[in-house]
Chains A and B, each alone.
Chain A
Amino acid sequence: MDKKEQLLKVVKNAIRVEYDGYQFYRLAEEKTSDPKGKEVFASLAKDETNHMQILKGLYQSVKEEEEFKFDQVKEITSILQTTSESPIFSKEFKDRLDKSQFEMTALSVGILLEKNSIDFYKRSALETEEKDVKMLFTYLADWEGEHLRALVNQQKYLQEDYWTEARLYPF
């Protein structure tokens, strides 16, 4: 496999990684009952769509053997307040936790997906020799890192109460 084909394969995998994130956040948006959660999951899905668009642009450039410039990419903009203790769900959501088991799963699966993306982008950034592609992958790893921080903070905020709830079993 030559360098071009190799890079195309990596970019295709990157698009898949983003697509899976998009699909999962759409599912989470649909399933959560918390209005703030709905809004934030929709925004996370939109971020992944934006990343997909950038990656599709890169795919096209590589395919057409055109130069790809990283400075075409915009600054990270997100509605996520990553440092807040409850960046995804409303604070009142904590009181309804006993009825909201899917949301805890949405956070755990989101965390797995983001960690997977970050690993993938960091590894791909190390493996590529193209300066602008390396910068793009690093930028995407940073952006997914923002998502990860928000999900982890939210999980920490909810987890203690979740485990002290009396019974959360469906059987």
Chain B
Amino acid sequence: MLERPAQLLKVVREAIDVEKDGYHFYQAAAARIRDGKGKEVFRSLAQDELDHWQVLEGLKQAIETKTKFKFTHKGKGRKSAARSKSPIFSAGFKSKIKEDHFELSALRIGQLLERNAIEFYGKHAGKTKNRDLKALFNFLVAWEKDHLQALVQQERFLKGKL
């Protein structure tokens, strides 16, 4: 169980690292990607991770100052992109891409990061009895799953499987 503050603080720090890695990776990838829409979506993925990081910093602070943490982040506020066939890159980008492009690697590395985040939050959501914390971790699982779905879908589209 995660109820001891020292244990909880360790998990929250690890969670911050997970978000930080996502943020820095998507930022760096956005700078390298040539497709205009791709650039924009990778920046938006980075922004999502930054938002999560910020929420987690609030939680960290609450633990450190021994104040009550209240999870109030309700909606995602942005429409999920995962429903589109080409949720990340412009549809025209498909004709320019070959098997060996940075963009395909960026999609696969992104998937690895999202799977890692989903596994991490899912594991720790199951370990805590704190209702707000469980809600936060489950909320993050759902959001990262949305990212993962968009990345998987985009890779399949570029490889001609959609």
Instruction: Enumerate chain A interface residues (CB-CB to B < 8 A).
Output: 16, 19-20, 23-24, 27, 31, 101-102, 104-105, 108-109, 112-113, 116, 163, 169-171
Contacts and interface: CB of A to CB of B under 8 A. Distances in A.
A23 B29 CA distance: 10
Interface in B54-77: 54, 57
Which applies to chain A's interface (DSSP): helix, strand, loop or mixed?
helix
B152 to A, nearest CB: 14
Interface of B: 13, 17, 20-21, 23-25, 28-29, 32, 50, 53-54, 57, 100, 102, 105-106, 108-109, 112-113, 116
Contacts of A23: 102, 105-106, 109
Contacts of B113: 109, 112
A110 B158 CA distance: 25
A149 B108 CA distance: 23
B44 to A, nearest CB: 16
Contacts of B109: 20, 23-24, 109, 113
B21 A108 contact: yes
B24 A101 contact: yes
B16 to A, nearest CB: 9
A102 B13 contact: no
Given A19-B105, A113-B112, A170 B32 contact: no
A37 B53 CA distance: 26
Nearest to A24: B109
